Amino acid sequence: MYSIEPVPLPHDGPADISLWRVDFAFDASLADTAFTALSDDERVRAKSFRRQDDALRFASVRAALREQLARRLGIAADAVRFTSDANRRPHLADFNALDFNVSHAGAHGLVAMSPERRVGVDVEHHSDKFDWHSIASLTLDASEAAWIEQLDAARQVAAFYDAWVAKEALVKATGVGITRGLQHLTVLPRDSTQVTLRNPIPEDMREMAARWIAAPDGYSACVAWSATTFA
């Protein structure tokens, strides 16, 4: 039987943020006991995916999230209830002071959680067939695109994904996102694990921080958080 065992991940962010990696088994079945805690709505959503791999990505991350939340809350995993805010960002229906965020791509997912602040996370699988130029205008500041162009071809793809995951994690952590688009955030050049917002910083990003985190080969990942706490 398939069991989901999230791997705790180290990071350089605040100690109240917990982070886990979920590794997918694509030969699993949604009928496995690992998915027992999923709600009827979650099962319907999982079955709505056309590809079985996508269904397993969603179901595995949601099952792992339920288990970690249940441990924090002291309740059964199937008793965890979710709702969404006006921006369709999921949150707990019955508890306020516990924020979470998830992401998945390829063979891995991420779960981030904090009882003190908003969190955002993103992981992306590098694709050698992907031409980053095709969406550069939608995701990169002009200075970032110029900086990537100076790199050798082998490093360009990784640099693009580094920018992508950092911006997505930051936007997800705000809870409302940046209305002007990802290209209005500037996070490159990268010179450490710390994400440095460059150029004029949008108002909704001034209380945010982020760190790139270690990811499996061929992946980029980042975790972001709000500087202010719930208290």
State the pLDDT at residue 201. 86
Confidence of residue 202 (pLDDT cuts 50, 70, 90): confident
Residues counted in the chain: 231
Q: Which CATH superfamily is domain 122-226 in?
A: 4'-phosphopantetheinyl transferase domain (3.90.470.20)
pLDDT tens column, 52-65:
999 999 999 999 99
- Give me the DSSP letters along 191-221: -SSB----SSPPGGGTTEEEEE----TTEEE
State the pLDDT at residue 43. 96
Tokens at 42, concatenated: 């979650």
Task: Report the range of poorest mean pLDDT among 142-151, 168-177, 218-227.
Answer: 168-177
Q: Please determine, for residue 207, whether its predicted confidence score (pLDDT) is greater than 70.
A: yes
Sequence ranges of the domains in the chain: 7-116, 122-226
Identity (one letter) of the amino acid at 11?
H
State the pLDDT at residue 2. 67
pLDDT tens column, 36-88:
999 999 999 999 999 999 999 999 999 999 999 999 999 999 999 999 888 88
Q: Please determine, for residue 225, whether its predicted confidence score (pLDDT) is greater than 90.
A: yes
Q: Is the pLDDT higher at 129 or at 164?
A: 164
Evaluate whether 198 touches 17 at the Cβ level (below 8 Å): no
Confidence of residue 9 (pLDDT cuts 50, 70, 90): very high
- Tell whether the torsion through CA atoms of 50, 55, 57 and 58 is positive or negative: positive
State the pLDDT at residue 230. 67
State the pLDDT at residue 195. 97
Q: Which CATH superfamily is domain 7-116 in?
A: 4'-phosphopantetheinyl transferase domain (3.90.470.20)
Task: Report the range of poorest mean pLDDT among 36-45, 54-63, 158-167, 203-212.
Answer: 203-212
Tell me whether the CATH fold assigned to 7-116 matches the one assigned to 122-226. Answer: yes
Q: Which residue in this structure is represented by tokens 């709702």?
A: 83
Sorted by sequence, the CB contacts under 8 Å of residue 227 that are 6+ apart come out as 117, 207, 208, 209
